[in-house]
A and B are shown apart, each in its own frame.
Chain A
Amino acid sequence: DAGVIQSPRHEVTEMGQEVTLRCKPISGHDYLFWYRQTMMRGLELLIYFNNNVPIDDSGMPEDRFSAKMPNASFSTLKIQPSEPRDSAVYFCASSFGLEPGEQYFGPGTRLTVT
């Protein structure tokens, strides 16, 4: 299996622009997680899905952030409009069921908003 796939790997955009991050989870996994990692705040859970349905979006910082999972093999995280404080590495992770330690992380998307 190719693991969790994220694209793009790097994104540089100007403040006010829309940014869309993409994730393909491991085939057969029924949970998908979006995280954000910064030096100041560490790794934070933004939102997670179970069987394509959002379960907990309490970590989404504000209305500028939205996430969708239209099918079992694809999810997007969108920021509109983007701001410099959104600069971070965004990770997608997936897992099968509730087994502890079974979350597999993608390589991340490094976002820079200027």
Chain B
Amino acid sequence: QKEVEQDPGPLSVPEGAIVSLNCTYSNSAFQYFMWYRQYSRKGPELLMYTYSSGNKEDGRFTAQVDKSSKYISLFIRDSQPSDSATYLCAMMIMIKAAGNKLTFGGGTRVLVKP
């Protein structure tokens, strides 16, 4: 079983809809939770990250972490065709000896239709 599970999709939504993405994980030691966006044939780029449980908002993006359930979510409001990409969750244990080694989910492909 993978440490981080993510539905591969694809997830197809009409423009303007809310996109809801999530990941589950098994390692309760994870402290930091990130969301990356990856366009086709590009490297992943960081969207946002959160520490421990709670919500974080950045423009149209909201990240939620529920450590008790080992579940994280990303919501994209007012989705645009330019949001069409693969979204990867990633998690990290902050231990100096471990560097900032990330464990990634498999990614969810999102398609926003005009």
Contacts and interface: CB of A to CB of B under 8 A. Distances in A.
A103 B100 contact: yes
Contacts of A102: 46, 100
Contacts of A95: 100
A91 B45 CA distance: 12
B74 interface: no
B17 interface: no
Contacts of B107: 42-43
B44 interface: yes
B19 interface: no
A19 interface: no
A99 B49 CA distance: 11
Interface in A84-100: 91, 93, 95, 98-100
B100 A50 contact: no
Contacts of B96: 98
Interface string B40-57: 011111101101000000
Given A48-B99, A91-B43, A95-B100, A100 B92 contact: yes
A106 interface: yes
B100 A42 contact: no
B60 to A, nearest CB: 18
A55 interface: yes
Nearest to A9: B41
A45 B101 contact: yes
Contacts of A91: 43-44
Interface in B60-114: 88, 92, 94, 96, 98-107
9 contacts: A43-B44, A43-B88, A45-B102, A93-B43, A98-B94, A98-B96, A100-B34, A103-B100, A107-B43
Interface of A: 4, 31, 42-45, 48, 50, 55-56, 91, 93, 95, 98-108, 110
Interface of B: 32, 34, 41-46, 48-49, 51, 88, 92, 94, 96, 98-107
